[in-house]
Structure 1
Amino acid sequence: MKQRHLGSLTISSIGLGCMGLAQGYGPTSRDEAVTAIHAALEAGVTLFDTAMSYREGANEELVGTALGSAGLAGAKALVATKADIVRTPEGVRVDARPDRLRGDALASVRRLDREVIDLYYLHRVDPRFPVEEQVGALADLVDEGLVRAVGVSEVTATQLEAATSTTTISAVQLEWSLAWRAAERDVVPAARRLGVPVVAYSPLGRGLLTADPVSRDPSVSAFRGSDPRFDSTHRGPNTAAAERLTELAGRWHLSAAALALAWLLHQGEDVVALPGSRRADRVRDNAAAADVALAPAAIAELDELSAKFVSDRYSPSRCPPPPARRPGDDLALRAACHTTIAP
């Protein structure tokens, strides 16, 4: 598989987002999840993304077990995980107190059964503290040898600039797909100006950009059920756009998912796609998209199609009022959940 670089890390251009192996998209079995991770390794995937908040650490344990049982390939894989979203039976909160992040990292290392975290993200910025203090605490973990590289997730352009003024930021993770391109207005340009690679999660629009009608059914997924892109107002036009994507993919002998991923990778050599799936066959199909070459005319046709997807990605009822806008803030991300239950 084609390789890309996140700071000092060399990784596959397509990784595996592991959240759905434990939460958010309906029931799954441990055996099915382990099989999906092994299929990803066999397909050349080397980046596996999890977080301490995914089912209260159980997802990290699953990823660690699956990679540990995969022999040399698993040992060579790189793991990204995230701090500070605390998920308990009582609710979800962000807690990025600089003095607690080391404890989060130690707990993640233990659950993953690894000696070091390859890429450690600030999952969300805690509004109680300057972002410089939060990433500075993660930089201390690099100096300690507990972490190899630092990343940030769902930050504004202003926050990204502040983070890079404090330490080397090897990746910024954000939602980006044919169905959600708001980050191209501000965070992506800021990342490129600052030399920070982009890791795009939900590159298949939470299942919207697939040919599988079940993947577009909000009743089988907690995340789709609260996503306005799947509600009664927007589901019709979004489904029509997704069906058009499937038609285009068939013209080029691809799956809809592979075409959507190929489009994303064509946005730049600094982009890594992070699709998730619990099915080994889909993991393999997603990985194969790394080798798809698209002509400029195909890119233009997909760009035109992307404008047909409608709606924001979070409903107002799911999020608290956003913080007051400051110069340089990412307007799109103000509508997202900075501090609560976004994955």
Structure 2
Amino acid sequence: MSGNEQIAVIGAGAFGTALAAVIALTGRSDVTLVGRNAGLMTDLAADRMHDAALPGIELPDSLRFSAEADAVSNAGIVLFAMPSQAQADAARHYGPYLAKDAIVVTCAKGIDKVSGDLLTDMLERELPQHAIAVLSGPGFAADIAKGLPTAMAIAAADMAVAERLAQAISGPTFRLYASDDRIGVQLGGALKNVLAIACGIVEGRGIGDSARAALISRGLAEMSRFVAAKGGKAETVRGLSGLGDLVLTATSHQSRNLRFGIALGQGETADPAHGTLVEGAYAASIAARLAGELGVDMPITDAVSAIIDGKLDITAAIGQLMTRPITTE
């Protein structure tokens, strides 16, 4: 397959493995899935199955596997598919091995907890010689790996770079839409996780689908205000990486964030470490703090943050949201 695009996907969890598999199936690229667990990578190469992450789904014969950091050295496109709070460490670990002209694509939906920065900003500091893009939108790993129709957004500062990535990664069942609004695409992906926790609390507490619909619609308004205040385009959150991802994550039990919220609503103690992949548990407090600094009104995000931090009980949070001053839509 000489002459094909060389693509490396770093992160052998469910989402990274699904992305690597669906890109490999296009046949247009040489794709390598890279992980740090040498035993796991050897098993994946031998068995062509990742039962821990994607049970029952066979991985393509053309997909390669490696536990070596230098496996990324020939790739023109490198996808970072590890959780948001692990991306800085991954940049430091794999950065020295990246090709000079490699484009790095963050595939996590979160905000860096240490700096409060968007992941593209953090990665630009860590990898200053590389173009940084972001892939986000409504797509569960299992659906992608099974070849079920999925559409997501990919954003870069340069639209030509975003369009190149969309062409390289898209396939018959996986369609990417190019954007030059990295801020809006990232914040849509991060904040919808917070709102999904809120919707899970509603479900767990049993207070009705009408309340869920209100949270989705008013949450979307919060997202738009925050994106605009951060310099992004408010209309971006009405697309795949905002509204599309929010509807999926706030209604499907495949969502870790929704399930985490349901557990809170049923009275379990808030514990973000309940799953390091519950991205919204980290994003809530970061977003609430940043919104306060920017003077952006985000009452739902504030309530979710306070509930997770143990500063507000759910009954009081509902009361606060329902007794806010009456305003226009």
Query: Which TM-score applies when normalising by structure 2?
Result: 0.33
Query: Which TM-score applies when normalising by structure 1?
Result: 0.32
Q: In terms of Rg, which structure is larger? A: 2
Structure with more contact order per residue of length (Cα contacts < 8 Å, sep ≥ 6): 1
The structure richer in helix per residue is: 2
